[in-house]
Amino acid sequence: MKKIILFSFTVLLTALISIILFSYLTGNPTYPKSVIQTKLYSKILDEEREIIIHLPRDYDKNKKYMVMYVLDGSSQDKHIANKFDILATTGYVENAIVVGIPNVSGKGRQRDYTPPYMKMDIDEKDSPLGEGDNFLTFMEKELFPFIEKNYSVSENRTIAGNSRGGLLVMYSLLFKPDLFQGRFCFSPAIWRDDNLIVKKASEFLTKQDSLNSFLYISMGDQENNKMKKGFNEITKTLKEKAVKQFIWHSEYTKNANHQNNAEISASVGIRKWTEYLKLKN
């Protein structure tokens, strides 16, 4: 009888571990009840988009919270929300509302996170251009008002993206600098289209007298040379095109690769962002 119970327990435990592992690998994590999962129909994108809203544990409607919008929601938002929770609990940072924006599909991700002057897929000869400008307009005109209407938020708005998502975050600076006060690019795909975003950034920064904004960029020191080359080029450009009031940090993350750099370096980026806010105030 004991053997049967033990066997049943082992089977149940194995099944539970398999479910958790599957959720992690497929980017479909389980969330606590305090996390709000909802949907928003976008007229701009002409599709329904899932939104994952992480409220602070001590959420108070009478208090204003900054908001961090996280691309690749359901794979990147959870670890960033956890970091805010831990760092806020220990008093290192102010807590924030973290809003994850999941992708509709692989092609949808290419469409949304690629600037309009780059091909969605460089391996396709007739690949359409990206629609990153359209996606950012969706955020500005539809997503921001939805969050601001339903939750107690401040005007302090940030965005975080990983890989191609990091490329979109960089493009957002060139597209509409005032759209976000802080930007976080983890392992950004700067290399795409022969580092075209570097050229665009150089042209943009040359025309700026001042830029009241914050940018954090990180790259794992174990990522491939193509990724590192693009990263080094954008860092070089940021140094050469120094702009007043534009605070940026670019650094390699030790012992990190493309799969885990965002998770490892996010805490560093959030801490530097907090330091920036303290100096600004």
DSSP readout, 16-42? HHHHHHHHHHTT-----TTSEEEEEEE
pLDDT in tens, 109-127: 999 999 999 999 988 889 9
25 and 137, same domain (yes or no): no
Which residues, 6 or more positions from 214, have their beta carbon under 8 angstroms from its beta carbon? 181, 182, 183, 247, 248, 273, 276
CB 272 within 8 A of CB 216: yes
Question: Would you give the distance in Å from CA 13 to the centre of its chain?
Answer: 33
pLDDT in tens, 188-207: 999 999 999 999 999 999 99
210 and 261, same domain (yes or no): yes
134 and 12, same domain (yes or no): no
Across all residues in the chain, what is the average pLDDT?
A: 90
pTM of the model: 0.88
pLDDT in tens, 42-74: 999 999 999 999 999 889 999 999 999 999 999
Q: What percent of the chain has pLDDT over 70?
A: 88
Number of separate domains in the chain: 2
63 and 180, same domain (yes or no): yes
User: 203-231 as b/e, with b when 16 or more CB fall inside 10 Å?
Assistant: ebbeeeeebebbbbbbbbebbeeebbebb
pLDDT at 1 over 90: no
Which residues, 6 or more positions from 83, have their beta carbon under 8 angstroms from its beta carbon? 266, 267, 270
Which residue type sits at 166? G
Q: What percent of the chain has pLDDT over 90?
A: 84
3 and 117, same domain (yes or no): no
Structural domain containing residue 9: 1-30
CATH number where 221 lies: 3.40.50.1820
24 and 139, same domain (yes or no): no
23 and 44, same domain (yes or no): no
pLDDT in tens, 144-160: 999 999 999 999 999 99
CB 182 within 8 A of CB 213: yes
257 and 203, same domain (yes or no): yes
pLDDT at 98 over 80: yes
139 and 71, same domain (yes or no): yes
CB 200 within 8 A of CB 174: yes
111 and 132, same domain (yes or no): yes
100 and 228, same domain (yes or no): yes
Distances from the Cα of 137 to the Cα of 53, 154, 175, 201, 205, angstroms: 20, 20, 10, 20, 22
Q: State residue 32's pLDDT score.
A: 67
Phi, psi of 179 (to 5 degrees): -65, -35
Which residues, 6 or more positions from 190, have their beta carbon under 8 angstroms from its beta carbon? 167, 170, 197, 198, 227, 230, 231, 233, 234
pLDDT at 235 over 90: yes
Q: State residue 15's pLDDT score.
A: 44
93 and 130, same domain (yes or no): yes
